[in-house]
Structure 1
Amino acid sequence: MVPQLTISARAELVRRTSAAVAKAIKSILACRDPGGWPIRLSMTFYLRDGVPISVGHTVGNAMATLKVEKAEFTVLTEKEGRKCSIDDVVNYGTRFVSFFNECHNAFAGLTRLYLENLRFRESNFVSNILVTCKQLNYLGFFNCDTEDWITLQVEHAQLIELSIVDCRFDMVKLTWVPKLTWLVFLFWITSRDPPLALGYVPLLEVLRLSNAARSLDKMLKLSTFLHETSIRDLTLGFQCEKIWVQPECLTRRQAYVFQQLRILNLVKIPEGYDLTWTMFFLEAAPSLEELYMTVWEHPCEMEMNQEIRREQSYSENKGVEWESPTSNFKHHCLAKFILVGFQAKDYMVTHVRRVLKAAVNLQDVYLYDRLVCAKCQEKVKIARRYDALVRGMCPGVNQPIKFPCTNEDQRAVQKRMPRGIGSLAKIHFLPSNQIRAEHRPRIAVDSLGAIED
């Protein structure tokens, strides 16, 4: 068992580690030959004491005298995001601004920058980062904001990857990012459309969107949102709450945005609701090859208090209805269908049958049991002490497990699926602790909620 550190002990460990990092960097760079091979600098350090400025000056000097091919800063804070108070993030933001202002030379040459738990007093400071760090290929923000909610205009010639997770901006506009190929935008707080506008992003291929929608939140029409993109890999997360994607009957012009889509991952769909709406994606994306769906009630990420749910307008009905206008629709490219959280219930069996019928060249269907999370199990144990309240708050918590574990049960389920369809797809039943290696990156995505074996 790993001993738990007290706050003071952890702070001292952070101080010593950061100081050691700064000393090691100086020592290594001092021995480099200015005319030698290009070097790569990748540094992770805590925003504490004078260490960041010391590291920044050292890196800035190296950029002026050595051939630096890549330079990366991962700037961490002593407290984790959920443990940070407002005073903490303001304090961290002030420290970072001092670091940034002291080390412009280092930031001007960075190719990768990750920041967390920062609040900036100046509303234009995030824009200053983009202006100064002209060489960035990757920029990541976690739990960052400004004192006044702002519209962040992103214009950057070199940026390839952008990650904005749990940040509070009124709007993020990707006005001109010609090389951007990879975008993560998770957890927004607004009752309108996502506070994200995709401008000139002609190379965007990978998109991750996730949010816990409330009853007042508008449904998102993806055909409008993605109107000038060519997404090939799309992940949509629902955080076990209301479905916020509007299934559409697409015109030929609208359908163009889905022509390049190859991989679709629908994460944390709420349990117990009809899944027919997901067929919209099959009809909209004729080139889709892999479809992942995770159905999960995840109590440790959900608001479980019924009173708070009412006050904050969480939806009691999380599902969405949709009926395809196309009868006997056929999809010719889908080869793999992975459904995580499968239970032998009518609505799930019916949906698998629906996919088998439509996807005429489907090769494999992987049906995994419900995911297991150690934190959820503990939360459920506590919640069950107040059983009457729990039943009203989280219908999935106390549901009996209906995964077909035995060969007999699996054969019974299979008989309910391909009857009269003629599908040749092989159906695999697997427990959640035996997720195949090629599926795990899609299922256990840290930014969308990692699973625990």
Structure 2
Amino acid sequence: MESPPPELIVGDDRISALPDHLLLDVLERLDLREAVRAGALSTRWRRLPNHLSRVHLNVGQFQGATPLEAMDAFVGAARALLAVVSPAEGMCERGALKVLALEFYISSPHLSSIGRLVEDVVSSGLTECLEFCLSPAPSSCAILLLAGIGQQFMSFSRAYPVAFSWLTRLTLRRHAFGNSDVTDLINACARLRHLTLNCCMRVDRHSALKIDVPSSGIQELEFSSVACTRIELISVPKLRQVGCEGWLFNPPVCFGYVPELRVVKLYSKAKAWQRVPFALSECLSRSATNLLKLHLDFLHQMIWIQPEHPKQLTAIFRNLTSVFLLGIFSECDLNWTLFFLEAAPALQNIALSRHSCIKTPQHSAEKTNVVWEPSKDLKHLNLKVLLIDGCEDEDKVTNYTRLVMERAVGLKRIILRGQLPCEDCNAIDPESSLRRSQVDEASRHRIKERLTCGSSSSVDIIIC
């Protein structure tokens, strides 16, 4: 039952006279800190923050001379906001907490308080989204301490199984895991759909991180700078998206049973010690027949995949509709990318970006050209759009574009754009990014002329 607004008297503000559900709508459009401040303005607003349907608390928003003091303030705020309010106060059901996101440090003195608070919240059965983001306190990030951090976290997850059974999204930063820790964690989190591991590692860095969760509903996995020999997704039947960035050894991920996989994103700079390049068929599973989108970003360094015969990939790529090949260094030939056309009959979109960064990271693998000759009888029926960023090299881009026009008989649109801004180049030479991102009018005219000369194609060509 909704509580009636108080009578408006002279001097009262009209906003405070609104009913509770409208005032909550106002508060939920504010930053949480502003919402709490608004709650301190008057007795009319004071109890409203306890009925927000979405709460996001980040320890980084709290001040303290030490991380422990910041966590003291974080836990105090959590207690104030998450305290169960008696229904006798007449609050409308609109205020039930549906989304709770907590970002905090692994701090032994505080984990039990957080666990109990969260279990009190989820015990109502109304929570739709529960998110944790955990990292070591800034003073405890040494590699030798990460194994202890990982053990503390696993103990925390086991001590509060009810809270973790309601978890829907989990991000872990700078943790070290034992043999089955990640598998055990996913199995314990029945509602977990998204897991991100950032700068994490195996306790034994010379071993694989194995995930075998045949009964889990997890849908998305993100790995960034995970220190292990490889990631083995043995059985993750509901998995729909995987992202992997900055790995140590090739191939970075090996897919097992992943029948629902839709999107794969791989981003990395090739290192001198890695076995490069590697074939995609070495890591992609033949069970991934529903794959729709593939993102590969080479970050302007060596191309770390090896073109291969279409028969190795056709079973996997039969439903692939979009390929994004990013960060190709400008000196590299582009014809090798056509092996995707040969292997993916349903492909509709190809996007390429080219750039030679003036900054070369330490320990980078040597850049070498990639050579590949497409089959002479290649005719692709479904490709509709070709997009290329980085068109300063007119010959290389126009020759490649004409080749695609010849082979992709259903092509509808070609979009050629100048080079995208590069933070590394801009840091070294602020003017270079601007100079190299522009294709002047004369160059546009020449490229378009060369693409249309002697061609009967009706493809729409956009150059910008």
Question: What is the alpha-carbon distance in structure 2 between the residues aligned to residue 418 and residue 22 of structure 1?
Answer: 64
Superposed displacement of residue 199, structure 1: 1.0
Which is further off, 285-294 or 61-70? 61-70
What is the CA–CA distance in structure 2 between the aligned matches of 1:317 and 1:338, rounded to whole Å? 24
**Residues of 2 paired with 1:143 and 1:194: CA distance?**
18
Q: Structure 1 residues 26 and 401, CA, compared in 2 at 3 Å: closer, same or farther?
A: closer
Q: Letter of the aligned partner of 1:261 in structure 2?
A: L
What residue in structure 2 maps to residue 203 of structure 1? 260
Check if 1:212 corresponds to 2:269: yes
Structure 1 residue corresponding to 2:287, chosen from 228, 237, 240: 228
Match of 2:190 among 128, 134, 138: 134
SS at match of 1:245: coil
Q: 2:404 aligns with which of 351, 355, 368?
A: 355
Tell me the number of residue pairs that the alignment of Structure 1 and Structure 2 aligns. Answer: 393
Deviation at 1:13, TM superposition (A): 9.4
Partner of 2:217: 158
Aligned-pair distance for 1:399? 12
- C-alpha deviations, 1:386-443, integer Å up to 9, x for none? xxxxxxxxxxx8997384322x33111111223223222222223xxxxxxxxxxxxx
- Give the residue type in structure 1 aligned to 2:331: G
In 2 relative to 1, CA 125–147 (structure 1 residues): closer, same or farther, beyond 3 Å? same
- State the partner residue of 1:446: none
Pairing partner for 2:303 from 243, 253, 256: 243
Displacement, 1:267? 1.5
Identify if the C-alpha distance between structure 1 residues 67 and 269 changes in structure 2 by more than 3 Å, giving closer, same or farther: same
Amino acid at match of 2:275: D
Change (3 A) 1:374 1:32: farther
- Identify the range of structure 1 (239-248 vs 10-19) with the bigger mean alpha-carbon deviation: 10-19
Change (3 A) 1:54 1:276: same
Give the match for residue 105 of structure 1.
Answer: 162
In the alignment, structure 1 segments of 5+ residues that lack a partner are 385-396, 431-453
Cα distance in structure 2, aligned partners of 1:10 and 1:361: 62
State whether structure 2 residue 449 is matched by structure 1 residue 415.
yes
What is the TM-score with the length of structure 1 in the denominator? Answer: 0.76
- Cα distance between partner residues in 1 of 2:417 and 2:335: 19
Q: Quote how far apart the aligned CAs of 1:51 are.
A: 4.4
Q: TM-score by structure 2 length? A: 0.74
Indicate the SS of the match to 1:267: strand
In structure 1, the residue matched to 2:458 is 424
Distance 1:146 1:249, change over 3 A: closer
Alpha-carbon displacement from aligned partner over 1:293-325 (angstroms, at most 9, x marks no partner):
11123456x40xxxx44xxxx333332111123
- Deviation string, structure 1 residues 83-122 (Cα, Å, up to 9, x no partner): 95425745654553453344332112212211112234x4
- 2:175 counterpart SS class: strand
| Relative contact order, higher structure (CA 8 A, sep 6+) | 1
Distance 1:111 1:350, change over 3 A: same
Is 1:55 matched with 2:114?
yes
Distance in 2 of aligned mates of 1:374 and 1:52: 39
Measure the CA separation in 2 of the matches of 1:176 and 1:353: 43
Query: What is the match of residue 70 of structure 1?
Result: 129
Task: Calculate the aligned-residue CA RMSD, in Å.
Answer: 3.4
Structure 1 distance, partners of 2:356, 2:156, is 42
> Which structure has the bigger radius of gyration?
2
SS at match of 2:122: helix
Measured in 2, the distance between the counterparts of 1:262 and 1:318 equals 28
Q: For structure 1, which segment, 351-360 or 137-146, has the greater mean C-alpha deviation from structure 2 after superposition?
A: 351-360
Pairing 1:165-184 to 2, within 5 Å after superposition: 165-184=224-243
Range with bigger deviation, 43-52 or 181-190:
43-52
Bigger shift: residues 46-55 or 238-247: 46-55
Instruction: Flag the 1:44–1:224 CA change in 2: closer, same or farther, 3 A.
Output: same
- Measure, in 1, the Cα distance between the counterparts of 2:75 and 2:349: 47
The DSSP-based 3-state class of the residue aligned with 2:199 is strand
> What is the CA distance between 1:272 and its match in structure 2?
1.2
- Shift of residue 132, structure 1, vs aligned partner: 1.9
- The reply on whether 1:271 has 2:336 as its aligned counterpart is no
Specify the code of the residue in structure 1 equivalent to 2:444. Answer: Q
Decide which moves more: 339-348 or 269-278. Answer: 339-348
Name 1:435's counterpart in structure 2: none
Out of 361, 366, 369, the position equivalent to 2:418 is 369
Specify the alignment match of 1:333 in structure 2. 382
Corresponding residue of 2:9:
none
Within-5 A mapping of 1:16-31: 18-19=74-75, 21-27=77-83, 29-31=84-86
Corresponding residue number in structure 1 for 2:16: none
1:401 aligned residue: 436
